[in-house]
Amino acid sequence: MSDYLTQRASGILAHFTSLPSPFGIGDIGHSAHAFLQFLEDSGQHIWQFLPTTPTSTVFGNSPYMSTSAFAGSAHLISPEQLVLDGLLPEEEIISSDEWSQYTTDYEKVAKFKTSILEKAFRKFSEKDKGFLAFIKNTKWLKDYALFMTLKEEYDQKAWFDWPEQIASRKKSALDEKIRQNKERIHYYLFEQYVFFSQWQILRKKAAEKKIRLVGDLPIYVGLDSVDVWANQNIFSLNAKNHSPTHVAGVPPDYFSKTGQRWGNPLYRWNCRDKKVRKDLISWWTNRFAAIFKMVDTVRVDHFRGFESYWAIPATHKTAVKGKWVKGPGLSFFKNIEKDLGKLDIIAEDLGEITPAVIKLRDRLGFPGMKILQFAFDENPANPFLPYNFSSQNSVVYTGTHDNDTTVGWFLSKQLTDNRRKRIKRFCNRSLLDSSGIHKDLIYLALSSSSCLAVFPLQDVLGFGNDCRMNSPGKKEGNWTWRCAPRFLNREISDWLAEQTKLFGRA
């Protein structure tokens, strides 16, 4: 268990895109700094968010399907900070009423952010010492900049549909592309420099307020990503056309009767080639090193995939006929800890969890996740009921980004009136109505024995299912929710601070 997890604390789950901002999307500048102040006023010491990597409208803007496992999203770059850095005149970022306060229009945001970044790039000196040092010290950067440049040249086609010499990374062909596209490649280098420069300002402010940043690491990467293109030997791909032989997903579960077919290529964990295994460990070590430069703690999504993973033949349209395959297990983490030291990880251990997964999690000392929305069936031994939490080494959530909001869930058709009454009884409430149900579950979470209690921002504010962040299996309408500034008010922060103090988490 990490040292900070021995003290009771609590926090809020809110992605940057959801924060109030005059520019159509929250960002890592003023939006994030204002939210840090709200967290401090609310007595919170944890800020958890979703992956901050680039997103694409091709994949519904999901932060879990990115073009890079290392890069930062240009959507999250702060226009105001560009002005403060002298890279833009203030009139370039004057806001207008055309931006919605409640949803993100990703296409419009992408056009706006690209426009101002290109203008800032033209004013930027590429001889800047910080910029040159960033390029020199960032291993993944040049591949990413070239990849994004080639995506533009080939009309956003997937890399495996590029000319074969480029898809297979023939050195002479890549050298020629680098020579031809030097300026555009440098634009993408600049974009990442700006992102990570702004990020370090944010991290410093969080540390000053003693707020720990909790990032999110998807176990898999997107097929059409620089990670797969630049590291083809560590993924299960067909040699002839670079397509995956098997893809990732999960079997039928709580969320889907046919399972979830994510489509990500699988790692070659069981390859006999020593070089492949060495390259896999090296890539993952670099990945963990990169994210721990950004955050204090990492929630590893789909942790169970390290013990065993669901392999679906790529030709199958659903996840039903996949099979479990043994993952890299304990030795994987021990190898990485040799280079990086003890890893501050929260294990996302939801879904079909076996004793072997629990054993792996516990041997590594990683806290698991407890979701209160999963707790209230007729089973008194339900492991998500607070009185069944067997260890303080866990993180309790009212819900996650994949759940409905607590108010939306309580009012939904999946609950009967008898079940609603049962939920209210657990909260020591007699009234069968939705008023205050979000506060009831936050009360249960704060009062539990878990070392950390985390609540989605929508639950803190008591919002309904129209504010849900993601519906697994649904292709449209996800990831767009935003919070209007008036909701982050003193009344809310005072209430949450009082509750947090009451249960010894302040």
Catalytic residues: 301, 348, 402
503: region left, alpha or beta (phi > 0 left; psi from -120 to 50 alpha): alpha
Query: Tokens for 175?
Result: 């050298």
Closest CA to 228 of 279, 293, 275: 279
Residue 35: CB partners within 8 Å, gap ≥ 6? 14, 19, 26, 47, 488
3-class SS of residue 490: helix
Helix residue spans in 85-163 (DSSP H): 106-123, 129-137, 141-153
3-class SS of residue 6: helix
DSSP-assigned states of every residue in 388-400? G---SSEEEES--
Partners of 47 in beta bridges: 12, 213
Q: What is the DSSP letter of 309?
A: E
- Cβ atoms within 10 A of the Cβ of 254, count? 10
What are the backbone dihedrals phi and psi of residue 340, each rounded to the nearest 5 degrees, phi first? Answer: -110, -10
Residue 89: CB partners within 8 Å, gap ≥ 6? 83
How far is residue 213's CA from residue 52's CA, in Å, rounded to a whole number? Answer: 12
CB 269 within 8 A of CB 317: no
How far is residue 232's CA from residue 237's CA, in Å, rounded to a whole number? Answer: 7
How far is residue 501's CA from residue 312's CA, in Å, rounded to a whole number? Answer: 47
How far is residue 149's CA from residue 187's CA, in Å, rounded to a whole number? Answer: 9
Q: What is the DSSP letter of 481?
A: B
Q: What is the DSSP letter of 103?
A: B
C-alpha distances in Å from residue 171, one per residue of 165, 168, 175: 9, 9, 6
Query: Tokens for 374?
Result: 């999963």
What are the backbone dihedrals phi and psi of residue 174, each rounded to the nearest 5 degrees, phi first? Answer: -70, -40
Sign of CA dihedral 126, 128, 131, 135: positive
